[in-house]
């Protein structure tokens, strides 16, 4: 295979001259090619077979133990002006970054195969979709890209038709954490990643392209690239709503996107459009529409069981790649809270009985094609995307944030999004459980200055017809003993119902200083083991705590100095004033 696109040809030649691969393989995206990649990795030990009877075509990849998560401290946005990247990003001057990366990539693929991976983010015929090409020396990346993106011939044909694509160069290098960098050059539509084989650092179509580079393009072109799930909720009367929700990494997007209605909610149907990334565009009528740029899931394994997420549990019983899980004596994959079997060998390949700590890595992941999801929506293939009724922000907050509340209007919604904070998780290297600001769940993923990004969000009120309503949820409130106050998972549908009823103006709300909260009676708790007092506390606003919170938000905005939009500050001042005089 080759290409008629000269820019692509020249770039591949330059990369080959620099990295010196033994051979070049053009990925065509066929199932046969996927099988060959798997066989080759079984031969090299990159993959281990799992129980072929109970987990057909499932494989285990054990990564280097130092390479198990995104590395935010080694991720850079390299714009000409540092201010363009903003205090929310690590920055390096493009020239310096290029020099550093050229040195790392020199000869890096000697004796290895260079895979050329043309991919399309979004339905191949969608005007909202965008293409890229990843060059990598990792067959694991090639196989994962086949599951996660529309990869191969059709994508290449679109690239040749359009001429424009994002370039991504990746090598696993020697996995030395001191020689590991994930560099973005938004002005060149270029990504260079060295020294990691882990998902977000190596599958360049995902966070690097579909969020960091795409968010930069989206600002210039008037759309949004967001860390959001997209879910369809249909009530027993057949009324459908599409919701987009932004929660930080490992805070429940995959779970909400494939929610199974509880028994108390017979007749309700939930279908997944996407579980991690949404691209949002205004259509000709001024309606916000969303596509999922991905075609597969790279999901958190621990915690997945028949009760919490039956759909995910079922879809990873076949044709899946597991990364860093444990295995049982039967050679089945095992993880914490699987509620089935016992671990024999831990994620590092040691006896599980000797290990202290979890047997599966807390950030162990599955990769599967989206079509394996029992509640996959065909609308994920619709080039026009789906119309969004509500945008939901959320985070992992032991305290403070109520179960659900609604913004007064779009601009207040932007403040709520910009103020999101959440406890850190194992999805990124570093301390877990530390509360940090994670605006719109995009702290690790916004490819430009957050102040400009908030401004861009605000600009939609002038350009849209009817904008979605904006909400904030928190499934993670805990009591003194560390137990969750809200049952979560399937029961979250009860909160989605209130959100949809608000969108349809079918239910009143209580006005508070932070926004509209449900009357406790309007959250259906039938059949739940949840007393009135707990529900009250889930739906309360602690004025002192919120005053402290808003002071923190002010300090955070201060990092962005004069660039913070005046409208955002005005929205914050309104909440502060309402808290001060107890007004609703």
**Residue numbers of the site for ligand GTP (CB under 6 A)?**
247, 249-255, 275-276, 299-300, 302-303, 308, 427, 475-476, 484, 488-489, 492
Q: Which of residues 221-280 bind Mn ion (CB under 5 A)?
A: 249, 276
- Using CB under 6 A, which of 29, 186, 200, 402 touches ligand SPV? 200
Shortest spacing between CB 438 and Mn ion, in angstroms: 11
Among ligand SPV, ligand GTP, Mn ion, none, what does residue 105 contact (CB within 5–8 Å per kind)? none
Q: Which of residues 526-565 bind ligand SPV (CB under 6 A)?
A: none
Angle CA 167–172–174, to nearest 5: 145
Shortest spacing between CB 298 and ligand SPV, in angstroms: 5
Distance CA 97, CA 82 (A): 13
Among ligand SPV, Mn ion, ligand GTP, none, what does residue 206 contact (CB within 5–8 Å per kind)? ligand SPV
Would you put residue 192 in left (φ > 0), alpha (ψ -120 to 50) or beta? Answer: beta
**251 belongs to the catalytic site:** yes
Distance CA 537, CA 203 (A): 42
- Using CB under 6 A, which of 249, 455, 512, 571 touches ligand SPV? 249
Q: Residue with structure tokens 């066929």?
A: 30
Among Mn ion, ligand SPV, ligand GTP, none, what does residue 289 contact (CB within 5–8 Å per kind)? none
Shortest spacing between CB 207 and ligand SPV, in angstroms: 4
Q: Does 207 bind ligand SPV (CB under 6 A)?
A: yes
Please report how many Cα atoms fall inside a 13 Å half-sphere around the Cα of residue 355, on the Cβ side: 16
C-beta closer to ligand SPV: residue 438 or 491: 438
C-beta closer to ligand SPV: residue 323 or 455: 323
Pick the closest to residue 180 from 81, 63, 293, 294 (CA basis).
63
Distance CA 1, CA 251 (A): 42
Among ligand SPV, Mn ion, ligand GTP, none, what does residue 302 contact (CB within 5–8 Å per kind)? ligand GTP
Angle CA 132–134–139, to nearest 5: 140
Catalytic residue (one of 251, 375, 446, 503): 251
- β 296-300/365-369 pair status: antiparallel
Among ligand SPV, ligand GTP, Mn ion, none, what does residue 439 contact (CB within 5–8 Å per kind)? none
Q: Does 199 bind ligand SPV (CB under 6 A)?
A: yes
* Residue 369, number of CB atoms within 10 A of its CB: 17
**Do residues 105 and 216 make contact, with C-beta atoms less than 8 angstroms apart?**
no
C-beta closer to ligand SPV: residue 207 or 437: 207
Alpha helices in 258-409 (DSSP H): 310-315
Among Mn ion, ligand SPV, ligand GTP, none, what does residue 86 contact (CB within 5–8 Å per kind)? none
C-beta closer to ligand GTP: residue 112 or 253: 253
Name 24's bridge partners: 114
Distances (CA, A) of 542 to 163, 317, 533: 55, 45, 15
C-beta closer to ligand GTP: residue 275 or 423: 275
Distance CA 54, CA 489 (A): 26
Please give the residue ranges that form the binding site for ligand SPV (CB under 6 A).
70, 199-200, 206-207, 249, 276, 298, 427
Which residues are catalytically annotated? 251
């Amino acid at each position: 295979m080759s290409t008629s696109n000269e820019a692509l040809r020249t770039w591949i030649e330059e990369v080959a001259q620099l990295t010196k691969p033994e051979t070049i393989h053009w990925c065509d995206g066929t199932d046969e090619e996927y099988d060959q990649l798997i066989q080759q990795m079984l031969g090299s030990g990159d993959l281990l077979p799992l129980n072929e009877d109970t987990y057909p075509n499932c494989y285990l990849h054990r990564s280097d133990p130092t390479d198990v998560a995104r590395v935010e401290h080694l991720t850079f946005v390299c714009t000409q002006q540092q201010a363009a990247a903003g205090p929310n990003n690590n920055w390096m001057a493009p020239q310096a970054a290029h020099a550093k990366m050229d040195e790392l990539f020199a000869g890096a693929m000697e004796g290895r195969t260079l895979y050329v991976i043309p991919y399309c983010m979004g339905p191949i015929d969608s005007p909202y979709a965008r293409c890229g090409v990843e060059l990598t020396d990792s067959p694991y990346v090639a196989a994962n890209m086949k599951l996660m993106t529309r990869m191969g011939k059709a994508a290449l044909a679109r690239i040749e038709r359009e001429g424009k694509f994002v370039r991504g160069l990746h090598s696993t290098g020697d996995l030395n954490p001191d020689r590991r960098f994930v560099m973005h050059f938004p002005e060149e539509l270029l990504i260079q990643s060295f020294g990691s084989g882990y998902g977000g650092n190596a599958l360049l179509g995902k966070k690097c392209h579909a969020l960091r580079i795409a968010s930069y393009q989206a600002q210039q072109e008037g759309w949004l690239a967001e860390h959001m799930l997209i879910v369809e909720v249909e009530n027993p009367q057949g009324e459908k709503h599409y919701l987009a929700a932004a929660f930080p990494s490992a805070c429940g997007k995959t779970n909400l996107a494939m929610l199974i209605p509880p028994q108390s909610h017979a007749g309700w149907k939930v279908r997944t459009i996407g579980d991690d990334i949404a691209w949002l565009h205004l259509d000709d009528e001024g309606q916000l529409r969303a596509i999922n740029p991905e075609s597969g899931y790279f999901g958190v394994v621990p915690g997945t069981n028949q009760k919490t997420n039956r759909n995910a549990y079922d879809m990873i019983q076949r044709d899946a790649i597991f990364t860093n899980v444990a295995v049982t004596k039967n050679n089945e994959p095992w993880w914490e809270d699987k509620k089935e079997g016992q671990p024999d060998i831990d994620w590092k390949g040691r006896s599980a009985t000797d290990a202290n700590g979890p047997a599966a890595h807390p950030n162990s992941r599955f990769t599967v094609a989206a079509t394996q999801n029992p509640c996959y929506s065909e609308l994920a293939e619709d080039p026009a995307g789906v119309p969004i009724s509500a945008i939901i922000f959320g985070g992992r907050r032991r305290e403070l944030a109520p179960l659900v509340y609604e913004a007064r209007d779009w601009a207040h919604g932007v403040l709520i999004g910009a103020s999101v904070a959440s406890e850190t998780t194992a999805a990124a290297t570093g301390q877990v459980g530390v509360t940090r600001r994670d605006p719109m769940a995009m702290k690790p993923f916004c490819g430009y200055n957050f102040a400009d990004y908030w401004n861009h969000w605000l600009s939609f009120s002038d350009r849209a017809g009817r904008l979605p309503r904006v909400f904030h949820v928190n499934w993670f409130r805990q009591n003194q003993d560390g137990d969750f106050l809200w049952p979560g998972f399937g029961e979250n549908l009860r909160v989605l119902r209130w959100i949809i009823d608000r969108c349809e103006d079918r239910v009143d709300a209580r006005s508070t200083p932070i926004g509209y909260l449900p009357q406790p009676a309007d959250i259906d708790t039938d059949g739940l083991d949840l007393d009135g007092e707990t529900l009250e506390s889930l739906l309360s606003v602690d004025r002192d705590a919120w005053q402290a919170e808003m002071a923190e938000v002010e300090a955070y905005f201060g990092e962005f100095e004069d660039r913070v939009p005046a409208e955002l500050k005005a929205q914050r001042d309104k909440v502060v004033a309402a808290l001060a005089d107890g007004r609703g």
